[in-house]
Structure 1
């Protein structure tokens, strides 16, 4: 249990509609990923995708998706919205790229987000013990997310000015060695 009243489990195809509901309530329309992107993540990156479930209703109220890369890819295209997980995911990879993480608005203000984030990474590290590094990309305006990442030991390593997929706002790359 990640927090009283919540649990974490692997994401399954049956969770797709709920994941998309979280996605639409968490991001601006121009940043929302297509349902097919999440379907591919769930299908092709087994062990890298988790959902936060409210115990009393068994409803999904958050998700965490990731993929494994052979090496850290610093070209901007590697972080493109809608990129093909089929082409990028390498099950033997040593770099975990966190592609998306979101919770419904009603559970964001609690410490649940930080616990869920940490729990998902811990679970992935058990399934993929070869992982040495974790990387993520975050919008400059997502201050609460940035606080979670920094509390978890992530360090900002790069700033992408005028990141196209974020409406030409800045994006920050954060990394953590495990």
Structure 2
């Protein structure tokens, strides 16, 4: 199914300012990540970072960042905000960790978000066929995001009470075993 007016492409260093604009408009100040974190994601987690682009203006209006982890080395500390992608990312890893996903407020319709989310995962899975599971962390109050994840087949596997990076609120870990993702193209 086509989504008119948008395209998806790999994120580049030149996208950092636009990605940071999306980041600042999407998250509370205390959980906005530094630009250097996004720069490292693009540099060290090659083929794991995508942007949503408005076709008519060629402007970035969303991003999806992820990295590959060794499944045996995932503990609660793995989810720290601003962790070192350089140290954690393993190109041979079997777990895809979705580190962040956001769209500008004016393009946050569920179908756009869902299609962008699914298209990004499909592209990553095509490059890394060894993937066995996908993991993400979500704030307990991000209900729209949770709906997208659950609709895509993710299951809540853990609750982190008093998660420091979310102001001591609860964080949920969602997982999905790699299977057939719905084909969605832009």
Same fold (TM over 0.5): yes
- Unmatched 5+ stretches in structure 1: none
Question: How far 1:75 moved relative to its partner?
Answer: 2.2
Question: How far 1:70 moved relative to its partner?
Answer: 1.0
Question: How far 1:23 moved relative to its partner?
Answer: 0.1
- Corresponding residue for residue 99 of structure 2: 99
Whole-angstrom distance in 2 between the partners of 1:72 and 1:56? 44
Question: How far 1:3 moved relative to its partner?
Answer: 1.4
* Contact 2:110/2:148, CA 8 A, preserved across alignment: no
* Contact 1:72/1:95, CA 8 A, preserved across alignment: no
Whole-angstrom distance in 2 between the partners of 1:2 and 1:20? 27
- Unmatched 5+ stretches in structure 2: 179-186
* Contact 1:9/1:51, CA 8 A, preserved across alignment: yes
Q: Deviations over 1:63-84 (max 9, x none)?
A: 0000000115442210000000
- Corresponding residue for residue 29 of structure 1: 29
- Corresponding residue for residue 69 of structure 1: 69
- Corresponding residue for residue 169 of structure 2: 169
Whole-angstrom distance in 2 between the partners of 1:75 and 1:101? 21
Whole-angstrom distance in 2 between the partners of 1:17 and 1:52? 14
* Contact 1:11/1:51, CA 8 A, preserved across alignment: yes
- Corresponding residue for residue 10 of structure 1: 10
SS at match of 1:111: helix
* Contact 1:2/1:112, CA 8 A, preserved across alignment: no
- The number of equivalent residue pairs is 178
- Corresponding residue for residue 58 of structure 1: 58
Normalised by the length of structure 2, the TM-score is: 0.93
SS at match of 1:153: coil
